[in-house]
Chains A and B, each alone.
Chain A
Amino acid sequence: MKITRKEFLRLTGLSLLAGGAMQVVRAIGQGGTAARAAASQPVRLGMVIDLSKCREKDGCNECIHACNTTHNIPQIANRAHEVKWIWTEPFGTVFPSAQTGYAEQSYTKVQVPLMCNHCAEPPCTRVCPTRATWKRDDGIVMMDWHRCIGCRYCIAACPYGSRSFNWQDPRPAIASINPDFPTRTKGIVEKCNFCEERLARGMKPACVEACPQGVFTFGNLADPESEPRDLLRSRFALQREPELGTGPSVYYLM
């Protein structure tokens, strides 16, 4: 078979193009099937955090400790390089718009547990250039640590500061490695996964289990009979910056 240089170049170009186009088409197709599967049996996992119970035990950080040991979170002294999945901030920082300016000290100083909001419309998954982070059909915003290239676009997109980057090798900063969950490496992003690996084994998230006050209520927000829905029906709840349209799945009871 004879082939001229020009033809060869043209064929190579065309097949490259076709290959690329197929990938794109497949990507779009996958998005569609995921959406359809979700519509058939609605599950939206979420968390309700009762701040009034949390306040009763000032200075307690059992939830944070449980998460750190479950997921091998490194404890890095340099604040700039911290990695955190669940942590606390003062109420005024977390809900700047819920303050009146003459607010009562008792709750403005309260420490509020923060974690990934597992948004209904997550801005982080939208921007990820490799689909290393995406929303599962049950509402968990997952990370594929095998695929993340460390571009940190998701960190820029997250309005809640829920994502951390591994600025260094985390292993030396983990006091004792829990072999049940892999660590991460330098150069990738990580965040709370709602203990997806524990849920798969029928367990509750580590923070929920560890809390001595029963502050956390975890369940299916799409099910009107679920525990978290019960609480949300009867108590006044806040979400972090709902006006951004992200639809956080973490609610705070006052």
Chain B
Amino acid sequence: MTAIFPPPSSAAAERLLSPEELEAALREIGAKRYHNLHPFHRLLHDGKLSKDQVRAWALNRYYYQAMIPVKDAALLARLPEASLRRVWRQRIVDHDGDHEGDGGIERWLKLAEGVGFERDYVLSTKGILSATRFSVDAYVHFVSERSLLEAIASSLTEMFSPTIISERVAGMLKNYDFITKETLAYFDKRLTQAPRDADFALDYVKRHAVTPEQQRAAMDALTFKCNVLWTQLDALYFAYVAPGMVPPDAWQPGEGLVPEKAVAPAAGAAGTGGIGAGDVPRLPRGVRMRFDEVRKKHVLLAPERTFDLDDNAVAVLTLVDGQRSVADIAARLAETYNADRAVIEADILVMLNDLATKRVLER
């Protein structure tokens, strides 16, 4: 592949970069080409898309989500060392889950269902744009056929994704009344998963790209991946925003949706209902978090059920003490994890309200 996008200067491309310079060059690619800059994404974040445009995005993006483990399995098959495979296989677990109803793909399906789609219609992928299919398939082929270094480097868009995911949660919560907090459950996990994945891949690329040619190949691979994402949004924009040319076989508004039914809004019950930033959440008697020594993980024990907790949930629930408000908890976490307080607050409200609906958290 010829270099579409030369890093800092063409002179720099000729010489061997230090690992730090390489990282800076890779980050520069994201700063210019990552799809958070795409006009479609700006519309999405700013709440300017119609419900049908959000649906088109959720439907198409499902194909990308669904093929990620296929891509990772192809990469995994080429990793020569058990230590590398152990790390990489976690991505497949994250996406596919450990059991039915678990994992990133499932959570994306929930999002698609949350905006009104029939599950089977989404699974069939028959309504997606050809451009979506072509770009995603090109990505899978790239990872299967290029060098291992390039394959791993192409995953580095994850370096840029934590920010955009947070923006998405906060932006959509704020702006779309048809998106419920439960629908956005997908994003709870990605916030910790994405940085962990990217750290490993970045470290690998920095250690294995040791000639100018290899460094160049890594940068090209990342550029390619940015284009895979960008192209998908181009196609969405073209079909569903302007000029609005939907290809003959692609999804048309109204297709593949669950018939809407009139549902009475849930009555606010004493002690529960919507938990807001100013509320003080607490675990009532009969609900407690403990560390399970045998399985080496935290669990939330509740009447007739046990919730497995991920690191995010443990961090939040450790601070739920019947004294701190949600805003206090968010501020504390923002400080600990050096993250945006408003973003964290929006995220933990999703989680706390979910637990409240299940009657294991009160205010």
Q: Do A and B bind each other?
A: no
